[in-house]
Amino acid sequence: MSKLQVSLYRYNPETDSAPFMQEFQIDTQGRDLMVLDVLHLAKEQDNGLAYRRSCREGVCGSDGMNMNGKNGLACITPLSEVVKGNKLTLRPLPGLPVIRDLVVDMGLFYKQYERIQPYLQNDEPAPAIERLQSPEERDKLDGLYECILCACCSTACPSFWWNPDKFVGPAGLLQAYRFLADSRDGATSERLAELEDPFSVFRCRGIMNCVAVCPKGLNPTRAIGKIREMLLADAT
């Protein structure tokens, strides 16, 4: 069994003047490991290798990275799904500043998330029990609330690459629509007013990279379309 050839993006600002690719030979013992397991094995060869990880089951969103050219979560991506010709190339999520190795600075991504006011707004006094919501109203949140903020989508989006400071990006917009679609939220017009400029929503060009890479199978492009429909209905 030949060893898996793993090419890893390396950069430590303290010692490296520029990033470089480092080759590792990883003995998978023929198992169909997850990419994260391969990283653990590489880290045993080089203790200094840095990457984020937490839940290792695809719900915390820590280990988003670029695997053989496609963004995804290392912990739920089996080698059989990405490896071609016994070679695996791992790079940090594109478009965000690299802190070290596979760790990127997610500051801009989080800033765009915070900008859409990602929390329920309702000025009505709360009842003594829960606010009622029909199953049909609740169904509208499916496909939206499940986002894990891994940034795979936004960092696969050319519009986000060019204007990460102005375009909210697919992840933030998915959450914007999650609150617009919630029957319990009372800030619809304020939310829409914040989004109607030429960048926040409208910089989406429908490229749909976000849909192609979302590890949770969500569809930000559809949510963006719904926001546009709401803006249109609101303005006309």
Partner 1 sequence: MVTNITNLGRSGLSDWLLQRVSAVILALYSLFIVGFLLFNPGLDYAAWSGLFAQTWMRIFSLLAFISLAAHAWVGLWTVTTDYLKPTGIRIGTQLIIILAIFVFLVWGITVLWGA
Partner 2 sequence: MSNMRSLSFDAIIIGGGGAGLRAALELAKSGKQTAVLSKVFPTRSHTVSAQGGITCAIASADPNDDWRWHMYDTVKGGDYIADQDASEYMCSEGPKAVFELEHMGLPFSRFDNGRIYQRPFGGQSKDFGKGGQAARTCAAADRTGHALLHTLYQNNLKNNTTFLNEWYAVDLVKNANGDVVGCIAMDIETGEVVHVKSKATVMATGGAGRIFASTTNALINTGDGIGMALRAGFPMQDMEMWQFHPTGIYGAGTLVTEGCRGEGGYLVNKDGERFMERYAPNAKDLAGRDVVARSMVMEILEGRGCGEKGDHVFLKLDHLGEEVLGKRLPGIVELSKTFAHADPAKEPIPVVPTCHYMMGGIPTNVHGQAIMQDADGNDQIVNGLFACGEAACVSVHGANRLGGNSLLDLVVFGRAAGMFIEGALNEGIEYLEASESDVESAMKRITRWNESEGGETVPDLKRELQDIMQTSFGVFREEKNMVEGVKRLEELRARIDNAYLPDKSSTFNTARVEALELDNLMEVAEATAIAALERKESRGAHSRYDYPDRDDVNWLKHSLYFPADKRLGKRDVNFAPKTVEMFEPKVRTY
Positions in the binding site for partner 2 (CB under 8 A): 12-15, 43-44, 47-62, 76, 78, 99-101, 103, 106, 110, 114, 117-120, 122, 126, 128-135, 137-138, 141-142, 145-146, 148-149, 179, 182, 184-185
- Cβ 164 to partner 2 shortest distance, Å: 18
Interface residue with partner 1 among 60, 196, 211, 226 (CB under 8 A) is 196
Q: How distant is the alpha carbon of residue 91 from its chain centre?
A: 15
Nearest distance in Å: CB 209, partner 1: 15
Bridge partners (DSSP) listed for residue 23: 7
* 112 sits near partner 1 (criterion: CB under 8 A): no
By C-beta, is 27 or 162 nearer to partner 2? 27
Cα–Cα distance between 235 and 41 in angstroms, integer? Answer: 56
Q: Which of residues 142-171 bind partner 1 (CB under 8 A)?
A: 159, 162-163, 166
Q: Is 53 in the site for partner 1 (CB under 8 A)?
A: no
CA 148 vs CA 199, 211, 229: distances in Å: 24, 14, 25
Least Cβ distance, residue 3 to partner 2 (angstroms): 19
- Kindly provide the b/e burial profile for residues 204-230, where b requires at least 16 CB atoms within 10 angstroms of the residue's own CB: beeebbbbebbbbebbbbebbebbeeb
User: What does 13 interact with, of partner 2, partner 1, none (CB < 5 to 8 A by kind)?
Assistant: partner 2
Q: Which of 135, 125, 222 is nearest to 178 (CA)?
A: 222
Query: Which among 58-66, 125-133, 189-197, 206-214 is the span making contact with partner 1, rule CB under 8 A?
Result: 189-197
Quick one: 1 or 233, whose CB is closer to partner 1? 233
Amino acid symbol at 58: G
Partner from partner 1, partner 2, none contacting 57, C-beta within 5 to 8 A by type: partner 2
SS3 state of residue 71: strand
Taking the complex as a whole, how short is the minimal distance between the CB of residue 84 and partner 2, in angstroms? Answer: 20
Rounded Cα distance between 12 and 66, Å, is: 18
Check if the beta carbon of residue 224 is closer than 8 Å to that of residue 173.
Answer: yes
Q: Which residues pair with 105 in a beta bridge?
A: none
> 117 contacts which partner out of partner 2, partner 1, none, CB within 5 to 8 A by kind?
partner 2
- 224 is a contact residue toward partner 1 (CB under 8 A): no
Task: Confirm if 24 and 101 have CB atoms less than 8 A apart.
Answer: no
Question: What SS3 state is found at 66?
Answer: strand
Q: How far is residue 227 from each of residues 17, 58, 129, 190, measured CA to CA in Å?
A: 44, 27, 31, 13
Instruction: Write out the residues near partner 1 by the rule CB under 8 A.
Output: 159, 162-163, 166, 193-203, 228, 231-232, 235
